[in-house]
Amino acid sequence: MEDRPIASDHSPPLPFLTMRAALLLLLVITSLLCLARAQNQALMDYLEQRLLAIENRISTWHEQTNRYAHELREFKQQMVGLLENQDKDREFMRTELSGVGTRVDRMEREMDYLETQNGAQPCVDVDEKLVEQEVTVVKEKNKAKYSKLTECRDMISSIKAMKILKRVGAPKGMWTKDTGSSSARVYIFNGTSEDTLYEFSSVRDFTASSGLSRGKAIQLPHPWGGTGHTIYNGYAYYVREGDEFQVIKYDLRNGSVVDSVVFPARDHVPVYSLTPETYIDLAADEEGLWAIYATRENENSICLAKVDPVTLDIVQMWDTPCPRENAEAAFVICGTVYVVYNTQLASRSRVQCVFDVSDMVTNDDAPLVYFPKRYGAHSSLKYNPLEQLIYAWDDGYQILYKLAMKKKLEV
Ligand SMILES: *[C@@H]1O[C@H](CO)[C@@H](O)[C@H](O)[C@H]1NC(C)=O
Ligand SMILES: *[C@@H]1O[C@H](CO)[C@@H](O)[C@H](O)[C@H]1NC(C)=O
């Protein structure tokens, strides 16, 4: 103690103070350290918690993924199973259907056979009195002898073949070749009240066209009504829509109306009960132009008129014994009108009534001609005398029927 250079007397409290300060400092540092450690710990805890949470989440996610994968696998298996079953069902249906098809075919053949055996009576039931009345009317009106313009003596014997060419669309309509010339052009009247017909250079051109796109659109000055139009010698003869029953002769070469007449019969009624849009049906054959129509005056039967294609005059008129009821269309061959019948729920079309203006063919001579299976009902049947083909419109389809002919007097 003595060797302390500075008198210790003067400064006895100094070391003590220093000690206290050091202690204090230590205390401060320690508590600071403690604090820091505590903070560190909190941070560590926090981080650990976060990590745990993330780990938890990852494991949940993993589980879920596994579950999803599993469910997906199960779902896939189920689908494969279902698809297999469906394939089996489809196969089953197909065999069932083809079985039904053969049975229907067989039934149709049997029905055809029965029909030929029983020679189904022509011209549906009409009560006796009515027939008598009609016969007298027919006799009176038909008194004038029809003088044939041609030597043609053909009558239909059967339908040799059919060809389905196309489906233009409208359920009802009409198509035909130019029936009075050797032109190959065909004309399409799609629908029963339109004003644009389509001209194709040939049947082949029509078949190759997608829809009517390749055709030449010809807009008529008035919309047509029904399916009773015809093309004859470069002219369209069409029935104008409306209640005037006007027949218009339209020149297809220069696009002008040449002539028009109001059909000289009053109180028209639809000529075929199954095609109620058609009041007048114009038909062409070897003899020229005809009109098939019906009036309220004699509303059970169909009437026939010979029309002069140049002047549109009516040359002669007949009441036929053929009923309108269940008729769908008709056509004329060599002066004989063939009326085609069907049923309300379309079944097989058949010629079941004929009327010959030259009295050479009677219903008894006429074979009962059945049309091959078709889609619905014919809304038009247009005969072409040069090819002996019928251009038919059946539920939107364009069909050609090739006819086999025989001579009228051969029995
Ligand atoms: C024919 O007419 C029907 C209905 O009017 C229509 O749906 C169809 O598209 C027409 N066809 C064509 C090729 O224009
Ligand atoms: C169209 O041709 C006919 C002959 O078929 C003729 O009478 C008529 O005047 C012609 N019309 C026009 C607008 O050229």
For residue 33, how far is the Cα from the chain centroid? Answer: 93
Question: Which run of H or E residues covers position 23?
Answer: helix 13-118
Ligand 1 centre distance from Cα of residue 381 (Å): 19
What is the pLDDT at residue 6? Answer: 46
Ligand 1 centre distance from Cα of residue 228 (Å): 18
Ligand 1 centre distance from Cα of residue 212 (Å): 9
For ligand 2, is residue 256 a contact (CB within 6 Å)?
yes
Evaluate whether 263 touches 247 at the Cβ level (below 8 Å). yes
Evaluate whether 240 touches 234 at the Cβ level (below 8 Å). no
Q: Compute the distance between CA of residue 113 and CA of residue 111 in angstroms, rounded to an integer.
A: 5
Ligand 1, atom 2, residue with closest C-alpha: 170
96 class by beta-carbon count within 10 Å (0-12 exposed, 13-18 middle, 19+ buried) = exposed
Q: Compute the distance between CA of residue 56 and CA of residue 212 in angstroms, rounded to an integer.
A: 69
Mutation probe of ligand 2 site: the residue of 251, 253, 257, 260 with most atoms within 8 A of C-beta: 251
Q: Where are the domains of the chain?
A: 54-118, 124-407
Looking at ligand 1, which atom is closest to the CA of residue 211?
13
For ligand 1, is residue 170 a contact (CB within 6 Å)?
yes
The answer to whether the Cα torsion of 215, 218, 219, 225 is positive or negative is negative
Ligand 2 centre distance from Cα of residue 187 (Å): 20
Ligand 2, atom 11, residue with closest C-alpha: 256
CATH class of the domain whose range is 124-407: mainly beta
Q: Compute the distance between CA of residue 279 and CA of residue 246 in angstroms, rounded to an integer.
A: 11
Ligand 2, atom 6, residue with closest C-alpha: 258
Number of other CB atoms surrounding residue 402 within 10 Å:
14
Note the maximum CA span of the chain.
178
Residue 80 structure tokens: 């494969």
Ligand 1 centre distance from Cα of residue 207 (Å): 15
Q: Compute the distance between CA of residue 291 and CA of residue 263 in angstroms, rounded to an integer.
A: 10
Q: Given the structure tokens 């203006």, which residue do they identify?
A: 357
- β-pairing verdict for 216-219 and 314-323: unpaired
Evaluate whether 284 touches 232 at the Cβ level (below 8 Å). yes
Evaluate whether 236 touches 250 at the Cβ level (below 8 Å). yes
For ligand 1, is residue 399 a contact (CB within 6 Å)?
no
Of 354, 350, 352, 346, give the one whose Cα is nearest residue 394: 346
Of 239, 243, 247, give the one whose Cα is nearest residue 268: 243
Looking at ligand 2, which atom is closest to the CA of residue 234?
5
DSSP state of 295: B
Ligand 2, atom 14, residue with closest C-alpha: 254
For ligand 1, is residue 169 a contact (CB within 6 Å)?
yes
Q: Compute the distance between CA of residue 333 and CA of residue 280 in angstroms, rounded to an integer.
A: 18
Q: Given the structure tokens 């939107």, which residue do they identify?
A: 396
Ligand 1 centre distance from Cα of residue 291 (Å): 27
What is the pLDDT at residue 143? Answer: 56
pLDDT means per 10 residues, the chain with 411 residues, are 46 59 77 80 86 84 85 86 86 79 67 53 39 40 74 91 93 95 94 96 94 95 96 96 90 95 87 95 96 93 96 94 96 96 87 92 83 87 95 95 87 47
Question: Which run of H or E residues covers position 251?
Answer: strand 246-251
Residue 88 structure tokens: 């089996």
For ligand 2, is residue 251 a contact (CB within 6 Å)?
yes
**Nearest listed ligand to the Cα of residue 258:** 2
Ligand 1 centre distance from Cα of residue 169 (Å): 5
3-state SS class at 158: strand
What is the pLDDT at residue 112? Answer: 57
Evaluate whether 337 touches 363 at the Cβ level (below 8 Å). no
pTM for the predicted model, two decimal places:
0.68
Ligand 1, atom 3, residue with closest C-alpha: 170
